[in-house]
Each structure stands twice: as C-alpha cells, then as structure tokens.
Structure 1
Amino acid sequence: MSNPLIDKTDSHMQKSLTALRRELSHIRAGRANVSLLNGINVDCYGTTMPLNQVASISTPEARVLLVSPFDKSTLKDIEKSLLQSDLGINPANDGSVIRLVIPQLTGERRQELAKEVNKIAETAKISIRNIRREAMDEVKKQQKKNEITDDELHDLEKQVQKVTDKNIQQVDTMAAKKSQEITAV
C-alpha cells in the first residue's frame, strides 16, 4: 500500500537528485564535455540566445570542444560570450570555428574540484533532509488532528526515514563517482 505523503516526499527528493546531477555535470573532469557549455548565452540578433541555438558544439578530441556557428557573423558574439563566462578557458577563433582546449587538471585543481563536489553533494543532502523534516511535520499534524493513530504515525515516520536514507545513499554514490572521475589521472 502506497501512501500519498510518502510518494510526494520521494518525488521532491528525486527533484533534489536531478538538480545534483545537473550541478555535477557542470564540473569538468579534465575531459571535454558538451554539457560544459550549457547555460552560456550569446547576445546576437538583438536578443540573448543559448549557445546551442546559434552554434553546433562537438568534441573532435578528448580535450577539445569545437563550436561551429550556424551563421559566421555571430562568431565574434560567441567568442565574447565564452570569454565572459566562468569557464576559465580561452577560446581560439580561427575565423570559421572556435576551439576550446580543456587544460589538463593539476593535482591541486583536482583536489579543489573534489571538495566542490562534496560541497554540492552536502547541499543536496541538506535539501533532502529539509524535505524529510517537512514530511515529518505533516505526519505529526495529521496525528494531532486525530487523522492517524500513534501506530500509523510511527509507521509513516519509518517510511519517511527509509525514503530519506535511500535518497541520501544515491547522493553519496553520485558524489563518489564524480570525485573518482576527477581524481583519476
């Protein structure tokens, strides 16, 4: 028997995991990944557009991103947007395409990124714990209104904790995988 409160709680926690996945995809592990350029917007044609709508992005080599504009007149605008972004990579413009060479990560930088991964994972855990607290508060409200018995209260609390533990475990797994990806030489 599934409880709507437990389903809602798990659904909210899954959204936290989705956000964590998105955050972790933006951390570069020394390899070129098209998702590194997600969130970069280009000012062209009198409006702001996502980079992937004005250019195709590919990875011809393991550490190179190739940005090929659909319209060559937007090349300077794309280059300007890449320079202003927080990527920390200088674009190389050859007049028809832009190359972004992902630098090899130093040991020190790998450690910094691993710490950042742990910080992001901790934020996700806090989010999940807040969702658990809200669910527990809701269960206690139901019990105070005599909508559920003491036994049902304890059963629902156990179910909420079980869902929380499962999602926290997924956060730990995702963070460990990303940290291993970063620190692997």
Structure 2
Amino acid sequence: MKTVLEDGKKRMGATISNLENDFAKLRTGRASTSLVDELTVEYYGAPTPLNQLASVSVPDARTLTIQPWDKGAFSDVEKAIQKSDLGLNPVNDGKIIRISIPPLTEERRKELVKVAKKYTEDSKVAIRNVRRDLNDQLKKLEKDKEISEDDLRKGQDDVQSLTDDFVKKCDALLEAKEKEIMEI
C-alpha cells in the first residue's frame, strides 16, 4: 500500500513540476530566459534548441539579449523568434540580438490569466487521473486479498488527502501567477 502512495506522490509531484514549467513560459511583461527556452532554430537544416547555439541573458527587467556563438546563426535565430507565437521583435546589431519586452495591455493580461487557469485545470485533471489509478490499484490489492477492506478504506482516504494537497498546491501556484501577471 505504501508503494502505491509513494508512486502517487511522485506522479502528482511531476504534474506540479509541469505546471511550474508551463507558468514559466507565460509572458508577464518581465524579461525571463524561460520565454525562449522552448524555441527551436532551423540551423543548417536541423531544428536546434536556441540554448544550444546561443547564450541568453537578461540585462534588465524589460530586455532579453541573445548572443549566438556562430555569426552565421544570427539570421536563423532572428527568424525563429519572429515565427514564434511570442509576439516579440528582435533587433540585430550584428554582435547581439536584443528583444525589448513591451508592457502588457490589460486585455492581454486577462488572456494570460485565462491561459494560466487552463494550465491549472489541466494539472488538476491529471492529478485526479492519478487518484483514480491509485484507487484502482488499491481495489485490486483488496480483491487479491493482499490488504483488508479497512486497509482499502484507509488507503483511499490517504489517496484523497494526497490529492487535496496537490490540488491546493495548483491553486496556490495559480494565485501567485495571476498576481504576477496582473501586476503593473
């Protein structure tokens, strides 16, 4: 029964990590290297992650700088940023690519909050799916006479409290992200 709960804890923890990663990619009007983490650049015909061919830094709160190690990659990096759905305009001065992060409009902030809520809801669904799997595993253990009916009930209660804890973590993350997005 302990292994079932440990497995559930691990899987629900992974869901929280995914939610945090999704939130990191949401633009909040503040420059962050995580904005371009997932960006792939068409480099010599092969899709290459941006962080493998350039250094990305944040000199100030509204600017992102990208410095490709290969001079030939400048135009490829610039194209990848323009094609991405980030809505950012890179400025290439030949030595470095600068991206100014414009302040968010009220409308865009509300859209981002909706996206954050969707990510949170998806995470909660994933956590509930883990709960269902764990309860099924416990029922199977009881059916195979490995645990008693009382143990099954206790196990289900433990799974439910674990689920509640992780759902609360999702809500707390959402609240913090919402606050960050709506901050001017």
User: Which residue is 1:85 aligned to?
Assistant: 84
Structure 1 position 94, deviation (Å): 1.6
User: Which residue is 2:168 aligned to?
Assistant: 169
User: Which residue is 1:3 aligned to?
Assistant: 2
Structure 1 position 47, deviation (Å): 2.5
1:35 equivalenced with 2:57 (yes/no):
no
TM-score (structure 1 length as normaliser) = 0.96
For each residue in 1:133-174, what CA deviation from the matched residue of structure 2 results, as whole angstroms up to 9, or x when unmatched?
Answer: 011111111112222111101110011011111111111111
User: Which residue is 1:52 aligned to?
Assistant: 51
Q: Percent identity?
A: 40
User: Which residue is 1:109 aligned to?
Assistant: 108
User: Which residue is 2:181 aligned to?
Assistant: 182
Matched residue SS, 1:31 = coil
Code of the aligned partner of 2:154: D
Q: CA RMSD in A?
A: 1.1
User: Which residue is 1:152 aligned to?
Assistant: 151
User: Which residue is 1:96 aligned to?
Assistant: 95
Structure 1: stretches of 5+ with no match in the other structure: none
Distance in 1 separating the partners of 2:110 and 2:48: 34
User: Which residue is 1:16 aligned to?
Assistant: 15
Structure 1 position 48, deviation (Å): 2.3
Structure 1 residue runs of 4+, over 3 Å off? none
For each residue in 1:57-76, what CA deviation from the matched residue of structure 2 results, as whole angstroms up to 9, or x when unmatched?
Answer: 11112111011111211111
Distance in 1 separating the partners of 2:48 and 2:111: 32
Matched residue SS, 1:60 = strand
Matched residue SS, 2:64 = strand
Matched residue SS, 1:82 = helix
Code of the aligned partner of 1:57: V
Distance in 1 separating the partners of 2:46 and 2:138: 49
For each residue in 1:59-98, what CA deviation from the matched residue of structure 2 results, as whole angstroms up to 9, or x when unmatched?
Answer: 1121110111112111111111111111111111122211
Distance in 2 separating the partners of 1:98 and 1:111: 29
TM-score (structure 2 length as normaliser) = 0.96
Count of residues paired in the alignment: 184
User: Which residue is 1:118 aligned to?
Assistant: 117
Distance in 2 separating the partners of 1:172 and 1:57: 31
Matched residue SS, 1:124 = helix
